[in-house]
Amino acid sequence: MKRQLSGAVVALVVIASGALASACDVTPTAASANGDSISTSTLNTQLKTLDTTVAGGCLLQLQNANLAVVSGAGTGGPGTYTMKFANAVLNNEVGNLLAEQYAASKGITVSASDLTTATSDFASTLNGEISQQVSSATSQGAVSDCQLSDGSVITGKQLLGALPAEVRDAQVRNQAVDEKLLARGADLSDQAVSKFYNANIGFFTQVCVSAIATDTQVHANQLFTQLNNGAAFADVAKANSLDAKSAANGGSLGCTITLSQLEQNLQVQAVTVGEPIAPIQNSAGQWLITEVTSQQVVPLSSAASLVRRELVQGTANVSRVSKEIVVFARHSEVSVNPQYGTWNRLTVVPPVAPPTQFLLASVGGTSTSSGSSVLSTGSASSTGG
């Protein structure tokens, strides 16, 4: 569950503070809530991971695509980050800390067994999100941040394994807290499971997809006419598709997407197996003709656990828990290190940069600009507890 204490700030990544920080920390505090702190070292690890590692970049793309397209690196060189980037991460950190405190206030504890379950659940969730993100990027002629240089796709398990231990453990703990909070009050009866399954059968229908990429709409329409007149999709793809890799396989893109995901990506109401879908243009300017070659519905008996997870993570349930956390946050004592800003009810507000004339001159003799604030992770002094 993404933390979003205020509509003014979009939560970045679900990263909890893990075990609540001790009262004595050897590094300065970035923020604190109700006596528990988030150290600058913890924040710096998050920033570095999200901005400079493959796993972090994938995680950022999945959780906040809008922020992912803008580099978080500051103008001060390696180890500095834009204020926007740092504020987004810290704001989410505070939200996660408050959520864990709220859970504790309700008598919720996280056991070793809960963490094991959360690890498996989170990896599974990441698999689905990665699959959807990669399919969406591919349909637009782009390469996903969740793909390696050789084109292979990162799995949820691989992503978690590649994260620094501190970040990974925090992710898993936050997942466990979320699951226990969301389970409170959720209707997980057999009747509710069956109703959701039948109303959302497309979510549980795996489809195999093929595509033909062309350079112009005119050419795409010509090929679309050939297909409607009986030409075999695989033959047309092999002879005409600009995507050499899929063309060699008759246009096949694999079976890694659900029917609902495909309909959403293509913005169509329904698709029929074996019937080509009219050409659409992707972000790369190519015109794509798509066809579902086969589909398989996962039976309710196999999908029940996934349905219960969807019910727990459903919009209404997430909204209920989010509102509870917001109420808790409004009555909490939160403070923020001035270098990151101040706390204004439900969000971290960036510090106001001083006018240019009050900043020190740079080595080159010109005034440093305050238009692109940066935070350095390398110069924080140590403090005693």
Q: What is the pLDDT of residues 49-64, one digit of tens each?
A: 998 899 999 998 888 7
- pLDDT at residue 19, as a whole number: 34
Give a yes or no: residue 12 inside a domain.
no
pLDDT over 70, % of the chain: 83
Q: Which of 217-221, 226-230, 379-383 has the lowest mean pLDDT?
A: 379-383
> What's the domain count of the chain?
2
Give a yes or no: residue 151 inside a domain.
yes
Residue 247 has pLDDT above 60, yes or no: yes
Indicate if 232 and 284 belong to the same structural domain: yes
Per the structure, the complete domain to which residue 108 belongs is given by 29-184+314-376
- pLDDT at residue 139, as a whole number: 76
The domain that holds 285 is classified in CATH as 3.10.50.40
pTM of the predicted protein model: 0.64
Q: Which residues contact 302 (CB under 8 A, 6 or more apart)?
A: none
Give a yes or no: residue 190 inside a domain.
no
Q: Which of 5-19, 54-68, 113-127 has the lowest mean pLDDT?
A: 5-19
> What's the rounded Cα separation, in Å, for the pair 88 and 12?
6
Indicate if 111 and 237 belong to the same structural domain: no
Q: Which of 301, 327, 347 is the last residue of a domain?
A: 301
Give a yes or no: residue 309 inside a domain.
no
pLDDT category of residue 26 using cuts at 50, 70 and 90: low
pLDDT 10s digits, 165-193? 999 999 999 999 999 999 887 888 999 99
Indicate if 152 and 284 belong to the same structural domain: no
Give a yes or no: residue 143 inside a domain.
yes
| Residue type for position 80 | T
- pLDDT at residue 359, as a whole number: 59
Query: The tokens 């969730």 sit on which residue?
Result: 125
Mean pLDDT of 59-80: 75
pLDDT 10s digits, 131-168? 888 888 887 788 888 998 888 999 999 999 999 999 99
Indicate if 208 and 79 belong to the same structural domain: no
Indicate if 332 and 230 belong to the same structural domain: no
| Residue type for position 170 | A
Indicate if 166 and 297 belong to the same structural domain: no
- pLDDT at residue 188, as a whole number: 86
Give a yes or no: residue 326 inside a domain.
yes
Give a yes or no: residue 10 inside a domain.
no
Q: Which of 262, 280, 301 is the last residue of a domain?
A: 301
Residue 325 has pLDDT above 50, yes or no: yes
Give a yes or no: residue 363 inside a domain.
yes
pLDDT 10s digits, 333-349? 999 999 888 998 889 99
Indicate if 56 and 169 belong to the same structural domain: yes
- pLDDT at residue 271, as a whole number: 92
Indicate if 138 and 91 belong to the same structural domain: yes
Nearest-CA neighbor of 87 among 31, 18, 22?
A: 31
pLDDT category of residue 284 using cuts at 50, 70 and 90: confident
**Residue 363: C-alpha distances to residues 253, 261, 355, 367 (Å):** 54, 53, 19, 9
- pLDDT at residue 78, as a whole number: 76
Residue 45 has pLDDT above 90, yes or no: yes
Q: Which of 301, 335, 366 is the last residue of a domain?
A: 301
- Say if residues 160 and 123 touch (Cβ distance below 8 Å): yes
Torsion sign over Cα 174, 178, 180, 181: positive
Indicate if 46 and 157 belong to the same structural domain: yes
Phi-psi region of 214 (alpha: psi -120 to 50; beta: other; left: phi over 0): beta
- pLDDT at residue 356, as a whole number: 64
Indicate if 58 and 141 belong to the same structural domain: yes
Indicate if 178 and 318 belong to the same structural domain: yes
Across all residues in the chain, what is the average pLDDT? 83
Indicate if 297 and 326 belong to the same structural domain: no
Neighbours of 378 (CB within 10 A): 10
